[in-house]
Amino acid sequence: MDLKPTKPLSGFIELLPAQQRCFDYCANRMQSVLRDCGYSRLDLPAIERAEVLTDKDNWDEIETQIFLFQKGDTKMGLRYDGTVGLSRFVAGHMNGLNFPFYTYQFARNYRGERPQRGRYREFWQLDIDILGVQTLSLNYDAEIVSTLMRMYESISDIVGGIRVKIGNRRFWNAMFAYLNLNADQARDAFVLIDKRDKISDFFEGLVETIGESAAKEIDAVFANGYRSFVGKTNELDAAIAEMDRFMDLLNAMGVKNAEIDVSIMRGHSYYTGIVFEFFSIDYPDLPAVGGGGRYEDLVSKFSKTKIVGVGASIGLSRLLVALMDENKIDLSRFESNVDVAVLVMGDANMPYAMQVLNKLRAEKIPSLAYLDTDKKFKNQIEYADKIGARFAAIIGETEVANKTVALKNMTTGEQQSVSVSEAIKIIKG
Amino acid sequence: MDLKPTKPLSGFIELLPAQQRCFDYCANRMQSVLRDCGYSRLDLPAIERAEVLTDKDNWDEIETQIFLFQKGDTKMGLRYDGTVGLSRFVAGHMNGLNFPFYTYQFARNYRGERPQRGRYREFWQLDIDILGVQTLSLNYDAEIVSTLMRMYESISDIVGGIRVKIGNRRFWNAMFAYLNLNADQARDAFVLIDKRDKISDFFEGLVETIGESAAKEIDAVFANGYRSFVGKTNELDAAIAEMDRFMDLLNAMGVKNAEIDVSIMRGHSYYTGIVFEFFSIDYPDLPAVGGGGRYEDLVSKFSKTKIVGVGASIGLSRLLVALMDENKIDLSRFESNVDVAVLVMGDANMPYAMQVLNKLRAEKIPSLAYLDTDKKFKNQIEYADKIGARFAAIIGETEVANKTVALKNMTTGEQQSVSVSEAIKIIKG
């Protein structure tokens, strides 16, 4: 019989144990920040009705984005972000939740697209949201940015420093109105500005879409700064004032490394106000490592009550796997998950060895045992070495008779005969 | 426009925040035990090639068990347990792993079947395995049982006590050989014994399948105990001795509430030796809340190297949701995730309020702020009450001027004006 393939499907991530420990360390640190900041975790289904995931019926087009399939008569698909499921959940539990509702999700999301480098079909994402009924002040947008910066700071030993760039959808809406663009022109200009970093003929594209004089005005935003449009219209003034106010708030919250960059748009069409993206300071070639913004209209598909929100997401798989792939993370501290390997010289010594193992584990000293007791000492000590155990606790007849362990320091090679409680003291250092 | 449905698809679980905190508490406690016991976490893809998940091509039949679908030309499906993916992974990383390999997974698994009460199409499961090359002593089977009991013990405040029943596939193979059953008869008898608790005509079924005299012998196993077959054949003696030895090992490991029950079979065909199932002591009506056993042949589909394993799984969703559905879990300690709600009386006081919030969070005191600063005090204090905050830290002009907070104990109603560091002392109690 032919052997089955051992590789996962393309676009799916599979980490080795040390990589996984690094990933879990980061995920746990970040979630610990979220708990300190009072966000409640939700764990929503990975599978939703297709009609919940998309408004469109053109599957061919959508399937590049969303992982859709059919079971029996039911069209369904895999969640591609946290916001759609959250909107559905909140609409269905309006009376059981308290608003503003601070919440987060840490879940796998899926994309239907053919995988490219750095893009995965399955990936872990942290989604952080605050939802309010009817209103939600700008302060919450700043709270979200502040919390994300705190989360990144908690894993700065792994990923280095992070900075945040702030944009404002309202600024561009005001700008497009000021330039008298029609809806089609505004949409095209929006797409061009969103992709500005990635295209070489940004200005030519603008000219073609909205004419030369409007294109020059938009170019002036980048050449002379958004503040050069103060005094043009009330809407522009309000949008600019909102950005200034936002920076003051971030400052009050102690957020460092924040700056305004009006080219930040965030592709999703649902954002309506302040938007933001996070970038690595130490690895400037990485694309945005997180982002989010204000949305006003998402829950309206599920409920007549107006819910407004501000949300952000961190693509943790994308960030960490990118850095691991380029050997940017020192995994040496994650190589071992074991402090002590208990080695048992002969099955007769098992009962005592198990007592020793139990005591170590009860002390929360990560410990396991090599239990093929008929294997030679050489094989057993090699195993202790390979798994990176700091100590080997060797149990033979002498140890059973004297109620001791032969404790070998795997780094220095030093070995001593000590009681179990002495051994625990030595191991805990 | 019609509103979209707010309920998840049937068979999918969605917990409210307090339920989720209880679930996460249990999941974290159990994983903490696994870390202390030196098991390395793996996080394998949720989606596998269909050929990895199943050996059969009859989709209609398999789809009741496995969640299969097609994307482009690729048949794929959602993982239904941790063992298949683990076998694939281990075969593909033979040289990067150390054996015996202590590992665990905590992941969502899927079933294609129409959901019934207590059965879900998506559920969290802990899969714990130890894998060895060529051999793995019986001690590891005991190690797994011991570790699972330790895991259940870590959440006994939530789920009560757990006991474990031990069976042995070798005993029945020896029994069927002793009774001269052919392969078909043995398989049918196996199925009947596996379902013995659920069927009323167990004995009649046996008679029909294997004849009256063989049926009486099998009935005698339950009537007179498996030890009444000591001395019949060498194979029976070896299987019985293995069970006795196993109980001695569990005893040496300090495992309480363990007993032999040879009717424990575990449905999966891949088990080859000792099998075990865990049951609630406090809720005896619950079906098994975990189980596992020895398997010898799983990895052979992926590799020519012989890998033997012993594994177990805990259906955490199934256990906790069953207890929550019947109100068997007191969720009061999980109702709140916030110690302090910072209430801000007017936007001018935001900068100072944010400093206070930062200090609380830096002290790991779970805290959030009500940031619609124009809302009345009454609304704000109601929010602090609703989210179950133990304290409200109220910030108005006076507090900003005096660098204090008005700290209100939400249980007693007592309010005092104190410095931030005094407030932290009071909150930490």
pLDDT digits (tens, 9 = 90+) for A9-51: 989 999 999 999 999 999 999 999 999 999 999 999 999 999 9
User: Best residue in B60, B104, B372, B395 to probe A by mutation, most A CBs within 10 Å?
Assistant: B372
| pTM listed for this prediction | 0.95
> Are B365 and A36 a contacting pair at CB < 8 A?
yes
Picking from B55, B182, B67, the residue whose alpha carbon sits closest to that of residue B123 is B67
Determine the pLDDT at residue A117. 64
- Give the pLDDT band (50/70/90) at residue A64: low
- Give the pLDDT band (50/70/90) at residue B61: low
- Above pLDDT 90, what percent of chain A? 85
Residues of chain A positioned with their CB less than 8 A from the CB of B370: 100
- Give the pLDDT band (50/70/90) at residue A67: confident
Determine the pLDDT at residue A424. 98
User: Best residue in A19, A25, A32, A37 to probe B by mutation, most B CBs within 10 Å?
Assistant: A37
- Above pLDDT 90, what percent of chain B? 85
3-state secondary structure string across chain B: CCCCCCCCCCCCCCCCHHHHHHHHHHHHHHHHHHHHCCCEEECCCCEEEHHHHCCCCCHHHHCCCCEEEEECCEEEEECCCCHHHHHHHHHHCHHHCCCCEEEEEEEEEECCCCCCCCCCCEEEEEEEEEEEECCCCHHHHHHHHHHHHHHHHHCHHHHCCEEEEEEEHHHHHHHHHHCCCCHHHHHHHHHHHHCCCCCCCHHHHHHHHHCHHHHHHHHHHHHHCHHHHCCCCHHHHHHHHHHHHHHHHHHHCCCCCEEECCCCCCCCCCEEEEEEEEEECCCCCCCCCEEEEEECCHHHHCCCCCEEEEEEEECHHHHHHHHHHCCCCCCHHHCCCCCEEEEECCHHHHHHHHHHHHHHHHCCCCEEEECCCCCCHHHHHHHHHHCCCCEEEEECHHHHHHCCEEEEECCCCCEEEECHHHHHHHHHC
- ipTM for the predicted complex comes to 0.95
Distance between alpha carbon A96 and the CA centroid of its chain, in Å?
Answer: 27
How far A201 CA sits from the closest chain B CA (Å)?
A: 35
How far A340 CA sits from the closest chain B CA (Å)?
A: 9
> Are B67 and A67 a contacting pair at CB < 8 A?
no
How far B395 CA sits from the closest chain A CA (Å)?
A: 15
> Are B40 and A20 a contacting pair at CB < 8 A?
yes
Residues of chain A positioned with their CB less than 8 A from the CB of B150: 361
> Are B52 and A5 a contacting pair at CB < 8 A?
yes
> Are B143 and A371 a contacting pair at CB < 8 A?
yes
Residues of chain B positioned with their CB less than 8 A from the CB of A338: 38
The pLDDT of B106-112, averaged and rounded, is 93
Residues of chain B positioned with their CB less than 8 A from the CB of A106: none
Residues 6+ apart with CB under 8 A from B330: none
Q: Which of B35, B91, B367 sits opposite A38 (nearest CB)?
A: B367
- Give the pLDDT band (50/70/90) at residue A359: very high
> Are A23 and B5 a contacting pair at CB < 8 A?
no
Q: What is the pLDDT of residues A40-57, one digit of tens each?
A: 999 999 999 999 998 765
Q: What is the pLDDT of residues B233-268, one digit of tens each?
A: 999 999 999 999 999 999 999 999 999 999 999 876
| Whether the Cβ atoms of residue A192 and residue A209 lie closer than 8 Å to each other | yes
How far B145 CA sits from the closest chain A CA (Å)?
A: 13
Determine the pLDDT at residue A60. 58
Residues of chain B positioned with their CB less than 8 A from the CB of A42: 15, 17, 20
> Are B373 and A137 a contacting pair at CB < 8 A?
yes
Residues of chain A positioned with their CB less than 8 A from the CB of B39: 337, 368
User: Best residue in B371, B391, B395, B400 to probe A by mutation, most A CBs within 10 Å?
Assistant: B371
Q: Is the pLDDT of residue B352 over 90?
A: yes
d(Cα A118, Cα B100) in Å, to the nearest integer? Answer: 33
Determine the pLDDT at residue B58. 57
The pLDDT of A109-126, averaged and rounded, is 83
How far B126 CA sits from the closest chain A CA (Å)?
A: 16
- Count CB neighbours of A202 within 10 A: 19
Determine the pLDDT at residue A400. 98
Q: What is the pLDDT of residues B389-423, one digit of tens each?
A: 999 999 999 999 999 999 999 999 999 999 999 99
Residues of chain B positioned with their CB less than 8 A from the CB of A65: none
Residues of chain A positioned with their CB less than 8 A from the CB of B361: 36-37, 150
d(Cα A415, Cα B6) in Å, to the nearest integer? Answer: 64
SS3 of residue A214 by DSSP: helix
Q: Is the pLDDT of residue B117 over 90?
A: no
Q: Which of B6, B100, B304 sits opposite A91 (nearest CB)?
A: B6
Q: What is the pLDDT of residues A75-87, one digit of tens each?
A: 899 999 999 999 9
The total number of residues written for chain B in this structure: 429
- Above pLDDT 70, what percent of chain A? 96
> Are A368 and B76 a contacting pair at CB < 8 A?
no
The pLDDT of A249-264, averaged and rounded, is 95
The pLDDT of A276-296, averaged and rounded, is 95
- Count CB neighbours of B126 within 10 A: 21
Determine the pLDDT at residue B118. 65
Q: Is the pLDDT of residue B113 over 80?
A: no
**DSSP characters over A137-168:** -HHHHHHHHHHHHHHHHHTHHHH--EEEEEEE
Determine the pLDDT at residue B60. 58
Q: Is the pLDDT of residue A198 over 90?
A: no
State the average pLDDT for chain B: 94
Largest Cα–Cα distance in chain A? 94
Residues 6+ apart with CB under 8 A from B1: A301
